Structure 1
Amino acid sequence: MRVQYRYNPAILGVTPQVITRWVPIFGLWGGAVGVAALFFLEPIPRVRNVILQKIPAVGSYWDRPVDPNDSPF
């Protein structure tokens, strides 16, 4: 019987098989953290105007017009 060696690339013990197993999990957690960050940053006007108002069908929820009496201009 002949012994055959196979090269299994690994960096600090992380192999391609480990990466393919963990990528979907990290993707879900990353998406959840991103959505939570958007809602946490909702009071900032730039986030509200540039990101949240662009969401189809619910973007008008974040539309907060300024009363002309409160405008400094």
Structure 2
Amino acid sequence: MVFQTPIRRAVPSYKSPYGPKYHYQPNVAGITFKQLAGFGFKAGAFGGVALFAVIFYASGIPRVQKDILQKVPFLGNYYIKEIPASDNPF
């Protein structure tokens, strides 16, 4: 292992004002927090699309219509099925 000489340690090294400005980037297992936030945003977007797809495919199930879709503002009235008394067998 190579160590700096004591004289070299006492004198700070020259840093050019035109050189790159390096900063410490905190990370977890090599993934920075900026990348982690991007992954979280993408995962949330995919989750939202997946939730929409599940509700869309299950919208024909009466229990889903009654418990979930009728409670959505502006869309709830579309899923309310009123059967006229003449068509009701009971």
| Structure 1: gaps of 5 or more residues | 2-6
Give the AA of the match of 1:53: Q
CA drift at 1:54: 0.3
TM-score (norm 2): 0.57
Distance 1:52 1:63 in 2: 9
Q: Within 5 Å, which residues of 2 pair with 1:1-73?
A: 8-10=27-29, 16-66=33-83, 67-69=87-89, 71=90
Higher percent of residues as helix: 1
For this pair of structures, how many residues does the alignment match? 66
Higher percent of residues as strand: 2
Structure 1: 4+ residue segments shifted above 3 A:
13-18
Aligned-residue sequence identity (percent) comes to 33
Give the AA of the match of 2:53: A
Distance 2:57 2:73 in 1: 20
Distance 1:32 1:45 in 2: 22
TM-score (norm 1): 0.67
Give the AA of the match of 2:79: W
Give the AA of the match of 1:68: N
The equivalent residue for 2:15 is: none
